[in-house]
Each structure stands twice: as C-alpha cells, then as structure tokens.
Amino acid sequence: MTITGPRQSGKTTLSRLLAPELPYFSLEDPDTRSFVREDPRAFLRQASDGAIFDEVQRVPELFSYLQGVVDSDRRMWRFILTGSSQFELIESITQSLAGRASMLTLLPFSLAELQEAKRAPASVDELLYRGLFPPTYDRPIEPSIWIQDYIGTYLERDVRQILKIQDLATFQRFIQLCACRIGQLLNLSSLASDTGITRATAESWLSVLQASHLIFLVRPWFTNASKRFIKTPKLYFCDPGLASWFLGIRHAVHVTAHPQRGALFENWVMTELLKAQTNSGQKPSLYFLRDKEGHEVDAIVETAPNIFQAIEVKSGETVASDAFAGLDYWRNHLTDMQLVPWLVHGGIAHQQREKATVLPWSNLSPLMESLVE
C-alpha cells in the first residue's frame, strides 16, 4: 500500500495506526538513507516480514530491490510506503511496482472529522484562516506561525530537491499569485508574465505544486460535440489555510472583509468534495460547468451513469434568489443529464427548496454522503 499526500497531513500517524506491529523506517533520516543506498539487500532483509517506509521518494533506488522482495513473497499488505511527492512516487511505482501497490491519497482533515473530534472551528472565517492541517489542531501554536514554518520547509526541501531553484523568492511570488487566482480560470500566460518568468517555467512550477499537493486543478466538464463549453481548468489550493497565508491573512478577523473571502470559501468547499472521494478510496471525478457566455455551476460530480451532483457555492449568510441562476440554467439546457442541485452557503439555513437542497457550511454531510453512495 502506498499513501501519498501533502507533508503533515497525517500519513505517518495513519500508517502506524494501520500496522502497529510493523517496524518503522524514516527515509528522511540520513543514516537510514545511507544504509539503503550502500546495501539495499541487507536493509530489506531486516524487513522481510514487512515494514513501513516513510518518505520513500527520498531513496527511489529502493523500489527496484523492493520489487524482488514482493515478487518472492506475495503476501498482501506487508509493506506500507508513504511519500509527499506524488510525481516521484508515481514514477518509481510505475517503473518497479506496477500492479503490486495500491495508491491512496491522504489530504488534511475534513470538517466532519474535526467535528467528530469536537475540535472544529466555530466560524467560517476561523476555518478559512486556520485551514485543516492536523498540527494546527493538536498543538498549542498560532496557525499562521505553523504555516509559515511549513512553507519554509516546503520551499527549502521539496522545491530545491525537485527543481533546484536558486531564486526561491520568485517561486514564492509565483505561489502568491496562484493564491490570488483561486477559483478562476487558469491563464498560464498571464500568471507567467506577472511573475516575470516564461510560460514553460510556469508550467513546470505548476506541475511541482500539484505533485507536492500544494494545489490542484479542477477540469471543466464538456462534450466534444459542443463548442460552447469552456475547456480551461480552475486552480485551487489543497488547504484554505495555505491560500490564506499566501494572501497575507495572519488572523481570522482579517478574513471577514478580505476581497478573496468568497474565493477562499469556494476553495474550502472544493477540498471537502475532493476529500469525500479520496477518503472513500475513489478516484476524484470533480468538475465544473461553464460555457463561453459565463453560465456556470461551481462543481459537478458524476455519482451514477448520467447522474450528476451539481453544487453551487455562496459564501454569504443569506441565500438570495439569484443564487440558483446557474443551477437553473444548466438543468434547462442539459436535458440529457440528470443534475441533482445543491447550494452550500456561509449561513446556518438548511432548507429543502424546489430549486435545490440548501446546506449550511457547518453541515455538509448530506452532500458528502451523496458523493460516495
């Protein structure tokens, strides 16, 4: 089993809870890495009955030797591999462990998990500022300080390792400009120009941000038969707290009047939709609807053949009548599809309206359950 996800999302904790009887090896440790590189066969002999290998992408040469161990003894679930760089893990597994390893993605907490543990933020603004990484909920530390250290570690370790960037300030500006564009159609040329880099460099950097689970792209849903649909993806961060930090938000009270509050709220809802599928072992099938005239639904998820959950997101506490415009438009125009309409908002109302099921931000359970039935 291979568990991938952003740093500090709980991969090590989860793997040790799943298999407390297995020996644990962190390949972040220099001595362990040296042992693996100098004598991989001897290293694997001490783990012949199984082991947890943490941050295994740090020693990719281990995979070839691990292949032989797995092939000689086909017992299931002997090895748990974890890693925070999806690109390096997938490349190594494709080359050496194809068909031998299941891939799971572990993202930061969902709101429902925090609510079950009775540690959920009390307000939308606190949620968007704080984010959902486990350490900000189990340690007495200011979230902005933890995120600052997290970003510093990410830039110094992952980025330098993968891209060998010398000017980290330019790369950080690139991420900040990405944060300014959450929920927007991705214009790579504009993003590159504003950063002062080439489009090719922007594409490369964007790939690294995706591979290290800092951002994700949501693709538009469209049919090849129609030229009306937008075919450009949207950009989101894997955690709203990270996006808030890059937007300069250092306290929850700063979220209330921030011009990006609506985008941050939409970003959070998109991560919840993503987690609902990944946490249940499903491959994410998250899209949005938009045509060239601007008629849009923020998210759609196919939950059965030709049946789509259609989700509109509004950060305001009051649900205005025009909030259903996008849902109404697409239900009337996509008559060959069944769209099940939902509206998630920043207030407390939970209503079963004719136009859609209205859910408050604090209770998305009915929607999440519909995605994994």
Mean pLDDT of successive 10-residue segments in the chain (373 residues)?
88 93 92 92 87 87 78 71 67 50 86 97 97 94 94 80 79 95 97 96 90 92 75 96 97 96 98 94 90 95 94 96 95 91 97 96 96 81
Q: Does domain 2-105 have CATH number 3.40.50.300?
A: yes
- Report pLDDT for 71: 66
Residue 207: Cβ within 10 Å count:
13
- Report pLDDT for 9: 94
Q: State the distance between the two ends of the chain, measured CA to CA, in whole angstroms.
A: 24
Cα dihedral sign, 61-66-68-69: positive
Structure tokens at 148: 């600052």
- Report pLDDT for 61: 83
- Burial of 122 from C-beta contacts in 10 A (0-12 / 13-18 / 19+): exposed
Cα dihedral sign, 163-164-167-169: positive
CA distance 298 to 271: 13
CA angle 109, 112, 118 (to 5 degrees): 90
Domain boundaries, the chain: 2-105, 111-371
- Report pLDDT for 372: 83
Structure tokens at 27: 């390949």
- Burial of 288 from C-beta contacts in 10 A (0-12 / 13-18 / 19+): buried
- Strand extents, DSSP E, the chain: 2-4, 24-26, 51-54, 79-83, 103-105, 215-220, 234-237, 286-290, 296-304, 307-314, 338-345, 351-352, 357-360
In this structure, are residues 268 and 128 in contact, taking their beta carbons and an 8 Å threshold?
A: yes
CA angle 8, 136, 118 (to 5 degrees): 115
- Report pLDDT for 220: 95
For β-strands 103-105 and 79-83, DSSP reports them as: unpaired
Cα torsion at 193, 198, 204, 209 (round to 10°)?
Answer: -20
DSSP SS3 for 342: strand
pTM, rounded to two decimals: 0.91
CA distance 298 to 287: 8
**H helix intervals, 155-212:** 160-162, 168-179, 188-195, 199-211
Residue 211: closest CA among 107, 88, 58 = 88
Structure tokens at 37: 């590189």
- Report pLDDT for 94: 47
- Report pLDDT for 93: 46
